[in-house]
A = this chain, B = another copy of it.
Amino acid sequence: MFGRGQTGNTKLVKQLNREGILHQLKEKAPLSRADLAKLTELSRPCVSALVDEMIHEGLIHEVGVGQSRGGRKPILLEYNSQAFGVVGAVFEGSTIQLAIADLKGEVRFQYKTRFTQPLDGEMAIEGVERGLAVLLEQSGFDKSRLLGIGLGLPGITQRRDGTVSYAPSTGWMGLPVQKEIEERLGLPVIIDNDVNLMTLGEFYKGAGVGCSNLVFIYVGTGIGAGIMIDGQSYRGAMEASGEIGYMMIGPIGKRGRGEFGVFENNYSVPAIRKKARLVLPDADESSMSIMKQLIEQAHQGKAGARGLLDDVYRHWAYGIANIASLMDPQLLILSGEMVHIGEEGVQAILRLLSEWIPFVPRIKMASLGDQAGIIGAVHCALEAFPSRLKGK
């Protein structure tokens, strides 16, 4: 039934049932006690007792009465998502994003700093400290109501010991980020890879809502993926899953051992930009999306742009085909630079896929933009520091 030989006692049942009730309330509020009894398949007295207990603890609120369905009017209940809060934080290049969210994961207050230089470890940690202070002050949120911090950063993170184990781009390897920040801020911290958190964000609040089995692909400075299996983030044996920048796609060339991956060297944004320079000497070197430029120029009939565009679609499709054939996900979410290829680009990729693989997955664009990471960070904290432990 549950596997892994875990045992339990009546306390476990109670916790399970409390969780069951909260779970329903988070998804389908407002609900009456009677509704909850039906949904959880618990008896009405049991639901009443647990609900009353949780109302006492402040986890649930009564929010008025509902319409009668031919009898006594139901007393509607809602999850008191304001009882506690969590912090989400994301480091990215030279910026730090911070947010305070409620227990539903809705971001209430947000803050962003941009530094003039790429963050080093010390700056980053100090940045979070100062950012949180500002956020608490401006919002008037009480720090004692914060359950913890979910923190996203580039590179491979070891969630267990809270360190960064591999990060060629930032040089933070070996940094004990979690411990440092926990000591400085006096709040529990959970760290995770930035792409994993974007995946979590899209899963809970974006294009992946309602889908328990998906792969999220991000193309930016690097290329990475996040995996949700059975509603749970899959991080791999050494927390290094989703490092698809290392897939063997495109020319292999010569490269230092253990540096950047082949796929990334050929089809990340910087790589495409470099190729574009050869094909489009008059290309816009601004921060404008390289894919938008390519598409525009291809529409104008420029053969070089058309050729490169097709090449990029083809190789991205290789990556997707590899992922789909191995994992058979319910849904694939495209993000980062990929969102700029539009419906036309997706169709081009789907056309290629249908030539190669028998089961073509559903493909959607990411819907949260650059908020995905911070929203994911918030949910990461909610997963790691559930409020129910507070009540006895």
- Which residues from chain A sit less than 8 Å from chain B, CB to CB? 1-10, 12-13, 15-17, 19-21, 23-24, 40-42, 166, 213, 225, 227, 229, 231-232, 234-249, 252, 257-258, 261-262, 318, 321-331, 354-359, 361
Contacts and interface: CB of A to CB of B under 8 A. Distances in A.
Contact of A16 (B7, B242, B356): B7
A258 B353 CA distance: 10
Nearest to A240: B328
A224 to B, nearest CB: 10
Given A13-B12, A166-B358, A229-B234, A321 B248 contact: yes
Residue of A1, A225, A237, A245 with highest tally of chain B CB at under 10 A:
A237
A15 B235 CA distance: 31
Given A7-B41, A261-B356, 4 more contacts: A7-B42, A237-B329, A247-B325, A327-B327
Contact of A246 (B13, B248, B321): B321
Given A19-B2, A236-B329, A10 B8 contact: no
B15 A13 contact: no
Contacts of A243: 325-326, 328, 357-359
Contact of A325 (B12, B246, B252): B246
B13 A1 contact: no
**10 closest pairs, A vs B, by CB?**
A236-B328, A5-B23, A237-B330, A246-B325, A7-B20, A241-B328, A240-B328, A248-B318, A258-B358, A246-B357
A236 B5 contact: no
A268 to B, nearest CB: 14
B3 A8 contact: no
A372 B89 CA distance: 47
A354 B257 CA distance: 7
A227 B237 CA distance: 13
A5 B245 contact: no
B236 A327 contact: yes
Contact of A10 (B10, B257, B324): B10
Contacts of A24: 5
Contacts of A166: 358-359
Contacts of A12: 1, 13, 16
Contacts of A325: 243-247, 261
Residue of A17, A238, A325 with highest tally of chain B CB at under 10 A:
A325
Contacts of A249: 248
A323 B326 CA distance: 7
A360 to B, nearest CB: 10
20 contacts: A2-B19, A3-B231, A3-B232, A4-B23, A4-B231, A5-B19, A6-B16, A7-B40, A8-B17, A166-B358, A227-B326, A238-B328, A241-B326, A241-B328, A243-B358, A247-B321, A247-B325, A247-B326, A248-B322, A258-B358
Nearest to A40: B7
A321 B252 CA distance: 13
Contacts of A318: 248
Contacts of A326: 225, 227, 241-244, 247, 322-323, 326-327
A9 B17 CA distance: 8
Residue of A24, A246, A329, A331 with highest tally of chain B CB at under 10 A:
A246
B356 A248 contact: yes
Contacts of A8: 13, 16-17
A170 to B, nearest CB: 15
Contacts of A235: 328
Contacts of A323: 326
